[in-house]
């Protein structure tokens, strides 16, 4: 399973380092979206039934499967609340604050 | 006559359907700057997971390109290019032709254009691509207005909706025109495959993308994609709205293939239109007579499609 | 496989033959007079199997260039062709292609722009798009047209250039007139023009994102890079022409071609097919003892500023003959020439001869008259430097109805 990861961005210092003709590496992320959140989803694994609807319906794709269960990439979660709203098991709650 | 070099086993009845469990776990649309709760993002993200690594994507000027390609933040994990606003379908045609000429086998060419980029400024190029049976998948994510530029009316803005260019006031109560019937317009071209979908029915959407992968010609998928920002709705109900619009009959799930229409879902009863519209500030100004008009339009439409598609 | 041979071909047919030899992967075709025979011949070549490529019947010129960009973006060599209204319909894509650094080659049949409607030759279509970032070539005859299609790919695809190239042919007067051309062998072209390789593309093995946004923090650097590539292209252009001469026995002088201008007192600068007529007039006037010459401007972008300044340094007067006017001011070629001469500190008198608009004929006598006006102007510089040639109506102020200063 791969997804683009945050990486440091080295600003070009010479014109030859500017990408030619607007072509650059796919999946190049230098900036997290965490600062957008006003509320943060928190998943209670004990209530999770593993239906994966939260993973499926997240507009950001930040919910992912790990061995320990479902995890949330808080670097890129915007706190929209769709996961909490759609979870039939009520395993996700939105906590106030960006955590 | 060109034939597809692509395997057609995917989407054949022998394979199990794609679900959240067996969907490609990689993310190909990640770290973008879309609004929280963006329905369009769900549509793009899921389609790219179905299509996989060997995909060329074109996205016109609009929401998905504006949020996904701001150097140095590039959110598409597979090959992707921004096209001109009118030129999504023509750029896709060129990509497909170039890939074929270069002998690039077993890859997908897909475009994601908004309602404005499809039904208005992009319709000429789309028409040409379908006419040529170019081997592309064209996905229209329909958030019912020119959202990226500030919620202006498009050809797919529904009757009654308030937009920044169809304000709702004392004299005129929002949009006075109906959504352009894009599904039937592409069908009238004799397109190889067309479907309507919604992010509120994700399993149905996934199934249609898988089917489009196997089509040796042009596919068009029109996916309903709520926009909390432009619609004045809470960010956590985007999927709920996308389901309700189908349940109340203002949108429909259908397919067109082999020159025949197929209604996928034919509700015996519709849920409340007022309930669906009432959750969105863009409809808050509507009067009872407007709800009646909208219901009557819905009923007339369903009478026709039940008679001919079901 | 084509062997070297001679053919009796129109300018358009020569272009089609050059395209076939260049082995494009994708051709996007939309018809417009007087380009139509280019895309028709190419369709026949695809049908008979002598040209193996993807041929897209697109539904507009905007789509033609958009499709060419899509193909180029996956690493395919592409070709399209247009004229006048079609060129203008794709203007958004012209800038997109040059900023995106797609090495597309496009033939443009120079034709007048509506309004009024006019399908005959002038150069306002391409000259109005000098700022679009394309390399622009103006060819004189069918042989040069064929040869420049091949050179255009070599120049466009050069890693230091990566800039689209527009090859301009005068509509009807060159696109539809016939001459004997030498058609090189496919093998010799394959040796001269290698297959297209680039890293500026989407790649299934190394995915990229293309056509992205650059914020105010970055955009200027991209534009400088694009500008710089076009400036550096001048050297590639000269080297390519020289190498073409070595391989095929024909070269064209690089950015400009001068004819009897070395000791000329009066020099005419020309673009495109009218150069052929002007050469004859130069010979006639020389035979009468006048020291005249011409310089054919082959490339309008990159602009041969230094070459023109050097070639006109000792002239008493220089005429810029162009089938173009920027309404309200002067011809664009004239503007470009004056800037070059001013920057070089050069100061012959420069006159602008605006001729040939909408297909108006330019006769030898008209050109001879231009040299007379240069000679007269060198003695008594006229106030008005922009001269519309061969107007058929009186335009003197006395003919106009004027309102009196007082009263009305």
- Tell which B residues from 225 to 254 touch A, by Cβ distance under 8 Å: 228, 234-240
How far is residue B42's CA from residue B286's CA, in Å, rounded to a whole number?
Answer: 29
How far is residue C97's CA from residue C24's CA, in Å, rounded to a whole number?
Answer: 17
- ipTM of the complex as predicted: 0.96
Question: A1: number of CA atoms within 13 Å, CB side?
Answer: 14
Residues of B within 8 A of A21 (CB-CB) are: none
**Residue of B32, B97, B121 to mutate, interface with C, max C Cβ within 10 Å:** B97
How far is residue B4's CA from residue C404's CA, in Å, rounded to a whole number?
Answer: 77
How far is residue B179's CA from residue B182's CA, in Å, rounded to a whole number?
Answer: 8
Q: How many residue contacts between A and B have a Cβ separation below 8 Å?
A: 120
Q: In chain C, where are the structural domains located? A: 5-248, 256-388
Q: What is the mean pLDDT of residues C236-247?
A: 98
Quote the percentage of chain C above a pLDDT of 70. 97
Other beta carbons within 10 angstroms of residue C38's beta carbon come to 30
Tell me whether the omega of the peptide bond preceding residue B72 falls within 30 degrees of 0, making it cis.
yes
Q: Tell me if B283 sits within 8 A of B264, measured CB to CB.
A: no
pLDDT number for residue C49: 97
Nearest CA-CA partner of B301 in B181, B185, B182, B160: B181
Other beta carbons within 10 angstroms of residue B60's beta carbon come to 27
* Block residue for tokens 């105010």: C216
The CATH number given to A45-99 is 3.30.70.20
Other beta carbons within 10 angstroms of residue C402's beta carbon come to 8
Q: In chain B, where are the structural domains located? A: 39-309
Non-local (6+) Cβ contacts of A93 within 8 A are A41, A42, A44, A84
The 10s digit of each residue's pLDDT in A66-92 is: 988 999 999 999 999 999 999 999 999
Q: Tell me if B256 sits within 8 A of B262, measured CB to CB.
A: yes
Quote the percentage of chain C above a pLDDT of 90. 94
Q: What's the topology of domain C5-248?
A: Rossmann fold (3.40.50)
Q: Is the domain covering B39-309 a CATH 3.40.50.970 domain?
A: yes
pLDDT number for residue B303: 97
- Tell which C residues from 40 to 69 touch B, by Cβ distance under 8 Å: 53-54, 56-60, 62-64, 66-69
The 10s digit of each residue's pLDDT in B87-133 is: 999 999 999 999 999 999 899 999 999 999 999 999 999 999 999 99
| pLDDT above 60 for C326 | yes
C-beta atoms of C200 and A21 within 8 A: yes
C-beta atoms of A59 and B238 within 8 A: yes
How far is residue C165's CA from residue C298's CA, in Å, rounded to a whole number?
Answer: 13
CA distance B131 to chain C (A): 9
Q: Name the interface residues of C facing A (CB cutoff 8 Å).
A: 99-102, 162, 199-201, 207-212, 214, 218, 221-222, 224-226, 228
Q: Find the length of chain A.
A: 99
pLDDT number for residue B165: 97
The one-character DSSP state at B143 is -
pLDDT number for residue C399: 45
Taking only the tens of pLDDT, chain B with its 310 residues reads 333 333 333 444 556 788 899 999 999 999 999 999 999 999 999 999 999 999 999 999 999 999 999 999 999 999 999 999 999 999 999 999 999 999 998 999 999 999 999 999 999 999 999 999 999 999 999 999 999 999 999 999 999 999 999 999 999 999 999 999 999 999 999 999 999 999 999 999 999 999 999 999 999 999 999 999 999 999 999 999 999 999 999 999 999 999 999 999 999 999 999 999 999 999 999 999 999 999 999 999 999 999 999 8
| pLDDT above 60 for A31 | yes
Beta pairing partners, C106: C80, C166
C203 Cβ under 8 Å from any chain B Cβ: yes
A25 Cβ under 8 Å from any chain C Cβ: yes
A17 Cβ under 8 Å from any chain C Cβ: no
pLDDT number for residue B15: 61
How far is residue A55's CA from residue A44's CA, in Å, rounded to a whole number?
Answer: 14
**Residue of C52, C78, C212 to mutate, interface with B, max B Cβ within 10 Å:** C212
The 10s digit of each residue's pLDDT in B252-278 is: 999 999 999 999 999 999 999 999 999
C-beta atoms of A20 and C101 within 8 A: yes
pLDDT number for residue C197: 96
C-beta atoms of A23 and C225 within 8 A: no
**Residue of A1, A2, A3, A4 to mutate, interface with B, max B Cβ within 10 Å:** A4
How far is residue B297's CA from residue B175's CA, in Å, rounded to a whole number?
Answer: 15
What architecture is domain C256-388? 3-Layer(aba) Sandwich (3.40)
Backbone angles phi, psi at C4, to 5 degrees: -60, 135
C-beta atoms of A12 and C228 within 8 A: no
Q: In chain A, where are the structural domains located? A: 45-99
pTM, 2 dp: 0.95
C-beta atoms of B98 and C57 within 8 A: no
* Block residue for tokens 């039939």: A88
- Helices marked H in chain A: 53-57, 82-86
CA distance A14 to chain C (A): 10
Other beta carbons within 10 angstroms of residue C363's beta carbon come to 12
* Block residue for tokens 């053919």: C7
């Amino acid at each position: 399973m791969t997804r683009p990861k945050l990486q440091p961005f080295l600003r070009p210092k010479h014109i030859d380092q500017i990408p030619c003709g607007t072509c650059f590496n796919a999946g190049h992320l230098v900036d997290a979206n965490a600062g957008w959140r006003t509320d943060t989803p928190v998943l209670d694994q004990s209530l999770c039934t593993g239906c994966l609807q939260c993973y499926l319906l997240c507009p950001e794709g930040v919910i992912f499967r790990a061995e320990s269960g479902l995890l949330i990439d808080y670097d890129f979660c915007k706190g929209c609340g769709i996961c909490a709203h759609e979870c039939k098991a009520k395993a996700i709650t939105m906590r106030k604050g960006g955590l | 006559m060109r034939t597809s070099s692509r395997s057609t086993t995917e989407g054949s009845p022998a394979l199990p359907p794609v679900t959240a469990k067996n969907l490609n776990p990689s993310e190909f649309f990640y770290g973008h700057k879309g609004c929280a709760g963006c329905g369009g993002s769900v549509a793009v993200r899921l389609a790219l997971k179905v299509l996989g690594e060997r995909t060329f994507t074109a996205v016109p000027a609009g929401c998905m390109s504006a949020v996904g390609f701001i150097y140095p933040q590039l959110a598409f994990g597979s090959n992707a290019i921004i096209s001109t606003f009118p030129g999504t379908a023509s750029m896709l045609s060129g990509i497909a032709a170039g890939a074929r000429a270069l002998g690039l086998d077993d890859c997908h060419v897909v475009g994601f254009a908004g309602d404005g980029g499809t039904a208005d400024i992009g319709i000429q190029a789309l028409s040409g691509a379908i006419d040529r049976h170019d081997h592309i998948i064209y996905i229209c994510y329909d958030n019912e207005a020119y959202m990226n530029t500030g919620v202006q009316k498009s050809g797919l803005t529904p009757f009654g909706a308030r937009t920044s260019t169809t304000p709702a006031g004392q004299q005129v109560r929002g949009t006075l025109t109906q959504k352009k019937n894009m599904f039937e317009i592409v069908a009238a071209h004799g397109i190889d495959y067309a479907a309507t979908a919604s992010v509120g029915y994700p399993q149905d959407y996934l199934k249609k993308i898988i089917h489009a992968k196997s089509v040796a010609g042009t596919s068009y998928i029109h996916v309903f994609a709520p926009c909390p920002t432009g619609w004045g709705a809470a960010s956590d109900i985007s999927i709920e709205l996308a389901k309700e619009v189908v349940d109340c009959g203002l949108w429909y799930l259908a397919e067109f293939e082999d020159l025949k229409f197929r209604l996928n879902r034919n509700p015996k009863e519709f849920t409340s239109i007022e309930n669906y519209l009432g959750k969105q500030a863009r409809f808050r100004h509507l009067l009872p007579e407007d709800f009646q008009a909208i219901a009557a339009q819905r009923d007339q439409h369903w009478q026709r499609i039940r008679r001919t598609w079901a | 496989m084509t062997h070297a041979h001679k053919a009796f071909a129109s300018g358009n047919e020569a272009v089609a033959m050059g395209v076939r030899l260049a082995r494009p992967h994708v051709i996007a075709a939309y018809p417009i007079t007087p380009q139509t025979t280019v895309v028709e011949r190419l369709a026949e070549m695809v049908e008979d199997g002598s040209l193996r490529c993807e041929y897209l019947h697109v539904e507009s010129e905007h789509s033609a260039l958009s499709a060419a960009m899509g193909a180029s973006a996956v690493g395919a060599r592409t070709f399209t062709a247009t004229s006048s209204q079609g060129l203008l319909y794709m203007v958004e894509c012209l800038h997109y292609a040059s900023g995106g650094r797609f090495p597309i080659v496009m033939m443009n049949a120079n034709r007048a722009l509506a309004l009024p409607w006019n399908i005959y030759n002038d150069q306002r279509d391409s000259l109005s798009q000098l700022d679009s970032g394309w390399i622009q070539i103006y060819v004189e005859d069918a042989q040069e047209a064929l040869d420049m299609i091949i050179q255009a790919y070599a120049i466009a695809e050069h890693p230091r250039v990566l800039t689209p190239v527009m090859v301009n042919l005068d509509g009807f007067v060159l696109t539809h007139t016939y001459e004997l051309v030498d058609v090189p062998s496919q093998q010799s072209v394959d040796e001269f023009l290698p297959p297209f390789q680039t890293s500026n593309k989407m790649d299934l093995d190394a995915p990229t994102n293309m056509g992205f946004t650059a914020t105010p923090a970055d955009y200027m650097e991209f534009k400088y890079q694009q500008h710089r590539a076009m400036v550096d292209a001048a050297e590639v252009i000269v080297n390519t022409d020289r190498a073409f001469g070595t391989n095929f026995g024909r070269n064209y002088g690089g950015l400009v071609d001068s004819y009897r201008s070395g000791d000329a007192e009066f020099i005419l600068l020309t673009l495109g097919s009218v150069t052929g007529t002007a050469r004859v007039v130069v010979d006639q006037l020389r035979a009468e003892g006048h020291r005249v010459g011409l310089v054919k401007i082959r490339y309008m972008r990159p602009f041969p500023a230094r070459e023109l300044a050097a070639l006109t340094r000792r002239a008493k007067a220089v005429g810029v003959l162009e089938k173009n006017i920027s309404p309200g001011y002067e011809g664009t070629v004239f503007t470009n020439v004056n800037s070059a001469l001013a920057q070089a500190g050069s100061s012959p008198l420069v006159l602008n001869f605006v001729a040939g608009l909408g297909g108006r004929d330019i006769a030898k006598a008209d050109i001879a008259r231009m040299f007379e006006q240069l000679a007269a102007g060198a003695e008594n510089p006229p106030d008005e430097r922009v001269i519309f040639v061969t107007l058929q109506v009186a335009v003197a102020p006395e003919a106009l109805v004027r309102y009196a200063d007082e009263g009305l």
